[in-house]
Structure 1
Amino acid sequence: MKQISKYLAIAASAILWTGQLSAQDFEPFNRTVKVNDYMEPAIPHPDQMKEAQAKLQALEKKTGKKPNILWVVVDDMGYGDPGSYGGGAALGAPTPHMDALARGGLRLTSCYSQQTCTPTRSAILTGRLPVRTGLTRPILAGDHLTKNPWEDEISLPTLLGEAGYQTLLVGKWHVGEAVGMRPHDVGFDEYYGFYPAQKEVTQRLDARRYPDLVLNEDRLRAFEAIGPDDHLQHGFKGGKTEKVMQIKTTDDMGRVDQVLTDFTVKRIKEMAKSDKPFFLEHCFMKVHCDNFDNPDYPGLSPAKYQYRNAIAEVDMHLGTIMKTLEEEGLLENTMVFFTSDNGPQMDAWPDAGYTPFRGAKGTTWEGGVRIPGIAYWKDMIKPERESDGLFDLMDLYGTALKVAGVSTDKLPNDRYYDFVDQTSFLLADEGESNREMVYFWWGNQFMSLRMKEYKAHVKVIIPTSTHMYIDMSTIQNVGLAPWLFNLYVDPKEELTMGHRRNAWLATVLGEAKKHEMTFKKFPPKNVGL
């Protein structure tokens, strides 16, 4: 990160201060307060925190137990795919259930993920940036890790389990399938799903797309020797792991999200009868390429293309899950968060989603990391709210702890935590975000940060062909000065304002320097990725 210091010096030289102002006269540009040196500072909002705490206390008094927590994560869905984010019927795939969820709660317009699957999925369960945990990219066939990155992490399901929660993950995992790295090894009581992404399973079955693999017996045998598991797994903490079903055809994969939804519905009905609250993370296999129609719902969307059919099917299953919560009388006591793990994988186009922003999955442009985020909680989150306040999916970690009544004092102080507790942002009727900055990394390279409406890049990913943001892209330093965009003026990040029209360049880069210092005090892990 030496380039940050260089850019900071250049930017500072261009700032001319005229006059003396008292610090007490104005709100500081960086409004955060640092409580300790191992946790991300946050913007204090004491009044909205009191309001949120009062709501939580009243609800617990009414129900007699802590709230349930449900996360619904779609794989590779673009910001512009749901109707409530500009897609839906306009793109040939209406999303009535996603849109109803948005109308009934808080629609976030600046919600951020990591730039690809594994980093996001690990970050939301550890509350830490992937560059700190070592889980910087998907674990692929043939990878050999030098250590288990989970062995010294404090996972969210571990903490919630200790607090009396039933913890369950259904669907895609993609954060390691070796013993010690599976969901039921890292804190979940139960796991029902697939370790890899759809494509990693079906490429061994699809001769039209991968003829040099499927139709070559020697290569297919070699692939099977190192390839990811192609079975639906059912595992239990400290107990057995059973292979329930093998994916033998693309039709099998097309039906998988129905199978997973049926299981989630079944378990919600069972857990509704328990005195214990639950934490359930439902992770769809769709809409990650390669998408195959569920043969029981062929051509489900008006567009008829496989990706759009997949969006329509995910929306249908979301409706089923929400209806189950309602029928079981759980809506008032369940915090629901609906999102995607990153932007659309445009390299698979047309089997890919839509974003109105520059870039896509695999990049730290807005199109790769800005995703839908909907928070819904009947009678707890005010309906029809919309906010451009910053929200990082890592914030789900701290928010879940607060909702469950688990103190962050339980977290060890020998590592840095990047989450911000956003409970008051979500629950206060006029709540504002408690986060001031979002930091973006690609592997172990710092790329950019967003602060307020500003986005500063010190490295960028440039595609050399249409849609090829992974397969034909290069990482480049930006040159003499960082590329600074005002996202309210230029949401597509097309022309940097830099020194011409922005006075905050040095200030924004100063925050990057502070971020860099946390790595000097708390060095990142290297697990061999």
Structure 2
Amino acid sequence: MKRIMPIVFCVALGATLGVVSSIAAPTITEPTRVQGMPGYNQPNQYLTRRAVKVADNMEPVIDNTEQNREARQKLEALQQKTGKRPNVVIFLLDDVGYSDFGFNGGGGAVGNDTPDVDRIAGQSLILSSAYSQPSCSPTRATIMTGQNMAHHGIQVPPMYGQPGGLEGLTTLAQLMSRQGYTTQAVGKWHMGDNVGSQPQNVGFDDFRGFLSVSDMYTEWRDPEYNPEIALSPDRYNAIRNLPFNKSDVHAVKGGKIENLYEINTETIKDLDQKWLAYTVDFLNHQKQAEKPFFLYYAPRACHFDNYPNDYYRGRSASRTTYGDCMVEVNDLFKKMIDTLEANNELDNTVIFFASDNGPEQEVPPHGQTMFRGGKGSTWEGGVRSPFFVYWKGMIPARKSDGLFDFADLFNTSLSLAGQPGAALAKQVPATTYIDGIDQTSFLLADKGVSNRRSIFYFWNDEIAAVRVDEFKFVIKVQLADSVTQAGYNGGFSGTIAQPWTALMFNLYTNPKEDETVSIRHIPAAIPIAGELQRYREVLKKYPPRTQISLKQ
């Protein structure tokens, strides 16, 4: 018992000091001295600052009053000029790593040049601490619900007809539609194949794409990757007869799925070009429309297995199928931007650019990250996404390490649509807890800082870690090499472990998370433990739910 006393004491004391030691403070937008004291206070650091409750069923926020006022003034001026709310675009990639783009040190340096993405990123707010969930379906559901995976319950991707999806949840598309937006989804869905979870039944006016995930359409067909299935007629037919949709599809709100053609190892090569054409056609139809639009654009790239079309095959310097598809991603994004500009819609469109999780590490070739771990894990490499926000003339070009959770896309999009802050609480059932935070002022203020105090990392419905400032307090980890030392091990390999006390990493001095500092930094651990205890109380009042999970 004596050995565990330090952390038990830390958690108990933190539960108290997490409230009473939090100090109201002015917003800091640059390093600031305090007279008579050494060092500097830094922007986006809230270890000792109080977060303010905005509604019982919403995460508390850092009160940055002055930047909130600045952001609202910008939005009001733009609406007077355009006569409508801004368009919102979420451009969401699949399994692309933090370090794959030039704006984060990759691009040509890793054999897949991304000049146009990097050019627009250079005119944007680049966020270096934007957090997804550990894998694709949980992340996509977080964007659509404003909830983490414990609350929305889609804790692993539903595969090959498995149950579990958005049915019964309040979605971003529904609420944007309620605010008078035209809602369009294009590309990968993967938030439930069942009828009630399909995009046309959860708020989208129109959908073109596929319902599941890239490898489900090809892996069992391809003798190079799965000869045990592809070259066994009985096994092949068993997979083919499973109840999952195998086509590129189209649907309109309230209607039925229309199968356009079956996706196989040949037709998959042209999916992203066909979806791009559909997106461009949508944008052209929205030119000078009275209603603003919400576009959720989710290319197939770059989830394994990658099958580049003839134009892009070998086009990357790396000459890998992954690199070739990254080069195509650059062109997809450029075409979307060019279309918006040609239609004079760029000034009134905010664009969120992101990947749904870190790189897949079990199946090469794959993406790059400077952090430890990859897809499927709560190590930084699994959940730290390449991310920027572009809004011509509205968001100044800069970089920030302020915390941003993908759940914040929900609140921020609806804030731009006319439901800021606490107003959003009334748009969802009282039993629904919104884990997102309205980050509008962080994005729009010239020197905006984050309105979020902490990030929570989840493994299924359990807290794995919490980050406040540069410190990450870890209570559950994934050990990819614990069982198999050979081959490619990643976030879906190995075992789950629980430290006998707790670990803490300084992500500035140790981004690889291989040197714990918890004992030396107990003064920092105490308020972080208090934040952990605060959210545990949230989970008692708003319990986790499970739509689909692999938890035993």
Shorter-chain TM-score category?
over 0.9
What is the distance in 1 between the residues matched to 2:101 and 2:128? 12
Following TM superposition, by how much is the alpha carbon of 1:195 offset from its aligned partner in structure 2, in angstroms? 0.9
**Structure 1 counterpart of 2:251:** 235
What is the correspondence of 1:156-167 to structure 2 with a 5 Å cutoff? 156-167=172-183
Choose from 282, 288, 294 the match for 2:303.
288
Cα distance change on mapping 1:415 and 1:367 into 2, 3 Å: same
Cα distance change on mapping 1:216 and 1:371 into 2, 3 Å: same
1:203 equivalent to 2:211? Answer no
What is the distance in 2 between the residues matched to 1:505 and 1:22? 14
Q: In 1, are the aligned partners of 2:171 and 2:203 still within 8 Å (CA)?
A: yes
What is the correspondence of 1:140-151 to structure 2 with a 5 Å cutoff? 140-141=159-160, 143-145=162-164, 149-151=165-167
**Structure 1 counterpart of 2:393:** 379
Q: In 2, are the aligned partners of 1:8 and 1:510 still within 8 Å (CA)?
A: no
Given residue 518 of structure 1, which amino acid in structure 2 is its aligned partner?
Answer: V
What is the correspondence of 1:40-439 to structure 2 with a 5 Å cutoff? 40-141=59-160, 143-145=162-164, 149-226=165-242, 228-248=244-264, 250-349=265-364, 351-383=365-397, 385-406=398-419, 407-408=423-424, 409-439=426-456
Cα distance change on mapping 1:179 and 1:13 into 2, 3 Å: closer
Q: In 2, are the aligned partners of 1:72 and 1:338 still within 8 Å (CA)?
A: yes
Given residue 453 of structure 2, which amino acid in structure 1 is its aligned partner?
Answer: E
Following TM superposition, by how much is the alpha carbon of 1:125 offset from its aligned partner in structure 2, in angstroms? 0.6
What is the distance in 2 between the residues matched to 1:288 and 1:22? 43
**Structure 2 counterpart of 1:468:** 489
Cα distance change on mapping 1:389 and 1:528 into 2, 3 Å: closer
Given residue 57 of structure 2, which amino acid in structure 1 is its aligned partner?
Answer: Y
What is the distance in 2 between the residues matched to 1:441 and 1:310? 30
Choose from 38, 42, 49 the match for 2:57.
38
Following TM superposition, by how much is the alpha carbon of 1:477 offset from its aligned partner in structure 2, in angstroms? 0.5
Q: In 2, are the aligned partners of 1:168 and 1:191 still within 8 Å (CA)?
A: yes
Deviations 1:206-259 (A, max 9, x none): 1111111111111111111226322111001112321112113x2311211111
Following TM superposition, by how much is the alpha carbon of 1:13 offset from its aligned partner in structure 2, in angstroms? 7.4
What is the distance in 1 between the residues matched to 2:161 and 2:396? 48
What is the distance in 1 between the residues matched to 2:347 and 2:23? 44
Instruction: Give SS of 1:107's match.
Output: strand
Q: Could you tell me the TM-score, scaled by structure 2's length? A: 0.90
Instruction: Give SS of 2:362's match.
Output: helix
What is the distance in 2 between the residues matched to 1:253 and 1:5? 57
Q: In 2, are the aligned partners of 1:233 and 1:244 still within 8 Å (CA)?
A: yes
Instruction: Give SS of 1:226's match.
Output: coil
What is the distance in 1 between the residues matched to 2:439 and 2:418? 14
Cα distance change on mapping 1:5 and 1:168 into 2, 3 Å: farther
Cα distance change on mapping 1:526 and 1:303 into 2, 3 Å: closer
Q: In 1, are the aligned partners of 2:127 and 2:388 still within 8 Å (CA)?
A: yes
Deviations 1:157-180 (A, max 9, x none): 111111110001100001111111
What is the distance in 1 between the residues matched to 2:182 and 2:352? 18
What is the distance in 1 between the residues matched to 2:521 and 2:395? 38
Following TM superposition, by how much is the alpha carbon of 1:22 offset from its aligned partner in structure 2, in angstroms? 11
Following TM superposition, by how much is the alpha carbon of 1:502 offset from its aligned partner in structure 2, in angstroms? 4.4
Q: Could you tell me the TM-score, scaled by structure 1's length? A: 0.93
Instruction: Give SS of 1:503's match.
Output: helix
Deviations 1:181-223 (A, max 9, x none): 1011111111100111111111132111111111111111111
Deviations 1:460-501 (A, max 9, x none): 00011364124431000011x211011111111110011124
Instruction: Give SS of 2:195's match.
Output: coil
Instruction: Give SS of 2:56's match.
Output: coil
What is the distance in 2 between the residues matched to 1:133 and 1:316? 34
Given residue 175 of structure 1, which amino acid in structure 2 is its aligned partner?
Answer: M
Following TM superposition, by how much is the alpha carbon of 1:524 offset from its aligned partner in structure 2, in angstroms? 2.1
Q: In 2, are the aligned partners of 1:251 and 1:295 still within 8 Å (CA)?
A: no
Q: In 2, are the aligned partners of 1:402 and 1:421 still within 8 Å (CA)?
A: yes
Cα distance change on mapping 1:212 and 1:488 into 2, 3 Å: same
Cα distance change on mapping 1:504 and 1:22 into 2, 3 Å: closer
What is the distance in 2 between the residues matched to 1:306 and 1:25? 50
Cα distance change on mapping 1:362 and 1:5 into 2, 3 Å: farther
The alignment yields a C-alpha RMSD, in angstroms, of 2.2
Instruction: Give SS of 1:500's match.
Output: coil
What is the distance in 1 between the residues matched to 2:117 and 2:276? 16
Instruction: Give SS of 1:424's match.
Output: helix
Q: In 1, are the aligned partners of 2:442 and 2:450 still within 8 Å (CA)?
A: yes
Q: In 2, are the aligned partners of 1:35 and 1:41 still within 8 Å (CA)?
A: yes
Following TM superposition, by how much is the alpha carbon of 1:43 offset from its aligned partner in structure 2, in angstroms? 0.4
Return 230-239 or 165-174, whichever deviates more: 230-239
Following TM superposition, by how much is the alpha carbon of 1:64 offset from its aligned partner in structure 2, in angstroms? 0.8
Q: In 1, are the aligned partners of 2:184 and 2:205 still within 8 Å (CA)?
A: yes
Following TM superposition, by how much is the alpha carbon of 1:522 offset from its aligned partner in structure 2, in angstroms? 1.2
What is the correspondence of 1:505-520 to structure 2 with a 5 Å cutoff? 505-520=525-540
Given residue 454 of structure 2, which amino acid in structure 1 is its aligned partner?
Answer: M
Following TM superposition, by how much is the alpha carbon of 1:97 offset from its aligned partner in structure 2, in angstroms? 1.6
What is the distance in 2 between the residues matched to 1:23 and 1:104? 35
What is the distance in 1 between the residues matched to 2:249 and 2:282? 16
Given residue 270 of structure 2, which amino acid in structure 1 is its aligned partner?
Answer: R
Following TM superposition, by how much is the alpha carbon of 1:36 offset from its aligned partner in structure 2, in angstroms? 2.5
**Structure 2 counterpart of 1:9:** 9
> Identity of counterpart residues, as a percentage?
38
Deviations 1:20-78 (A, max 9, x none): 99967998714311123211001011111111111111111101111100110000000
Cα distance change on mapping 1:36 and 1:273 into 2, 3 Å: closer
What is the distance in 2 between the residues matched to 1:334 and 1:23? 37
Which ranges of structure 2 fall in alignment gaps of 5 or more residues? 27-45
Instruction: Give SS of 1:51's match.
Output: helix
What is the distance in 1 between the residues matched to 2:352 and 2:21? 43
Cα distance change on mapping 1:100 and 1:528 into 2, 3 Å: closer
Cα distance change on mapping 1:471 and 1:388 into 2, 3 Å: closer
**Structure 1 counterpart of 2:39:** none
Instruction: Give SS of 1:57's match.
Output: helix
Q: When the two structures are aligned, how many residues end up with a matched partner?
A: 516
What is the distance in 2 between the residues matched to 1:25 and 1:129? 28
What is the distance in 2 between the residues matched to 1:528 and 1:61? 45
Following TM superposition, by how much is the alpha carbon of 1:523 offset from its aligned partner in structure 2, in angstroms? 1.6
Following TM superposition, by how much is the alpha carbon of 1:372 offset from its aligned partner in structure 2, in angstroms? 0.8
Following TM superposition, by how much is the alpha carbon of 1:525 offset from its aligned partner in structure 2, in angstroms? 2.0
Return 495-504 or 207-216, whichever deviates more: 495-504
Given residue 340 of structure 2, which amino acid in structure 1 is its aligned partner?
Answer: L
